[in-house]
Amino acid sequence: MDNLLDPVTDIQDKVVDGVKRTKQPIADAVATVIGLVLDQVPSVPALPYAELFPTPLEVIDNQAKFATKVVNATKTVATAAAKSAAPLTDQLLDRTTPVSAVKAA
């Protein structure tokens, strides 16, 4: 273990792997349920104003883009705060090359 982040990163990797492993079972379950529904009700009428509604994939894509923007903005704020605190944290963490404080915008 090089530092205390190593076990955290290992756990994060396991969480991501676990989420990835759910892809096929969830897709299969949804396909099965949709197949059963369509066997019972082969035709469903379109919703009124259906052209105004986004598809599920469009909603997912939109929300993923939003989440990425939020994560990037949050990282920018956190990075600025960490850089501002560097003169103290470098001393506390015994870093040999202190980083100068960066003024927050």
Q: What is the 3-state secondary structure (H, E, C) of the chain?
A: CCCCHHHHHHHHHHHHHHHHHCHHHHHHHHHHHHHHHHHHCCCCCCCCCHHHCCCHHHHHHHHHHHHHHHHHHHHHHHHHHHHHHHHHHHHHCCCCCCCCCCCCC
The C-alpha atoms of residue 61 and residue 55 are separated, in whole angstroms, by: 10
Domain extent for 73: 49-105
Mean pLDDT computed over every residue of the chain: 91
Q: What are the backbone dihedrals phi and psi of residue 25, each rounded to the nearest 5 degrees, phi first?
A: -60, -40
pLDDT tens-digit series, residues 71-103: 999 999 999 999 999 999 999 999 876 555 445
Question: Are residues 105 and 61 located together in one domain of the fold?
Answer: yes
Question: Are residues 104 and 54 located together in one domain of the fold?
Answer: yes
Question: Are residues 28 and 76 located together in one domain of the fold?
Answer: no
pLDDT tens-digit series, residues 18-30: 999 999 999 999 9
Question: Are residues 54 and 31 located together in one domain of the fold?
Answer: no
2: confidence class by pLDDT, cuts 50, 70, 90: confident
86 in Cβ contact with 101 (< 8 Å)? yes
Question: Are residues 35 and 56 located together in one domain of the fold?
Answer: no
**Mean per-residue pLDDT for 59-76?**
98
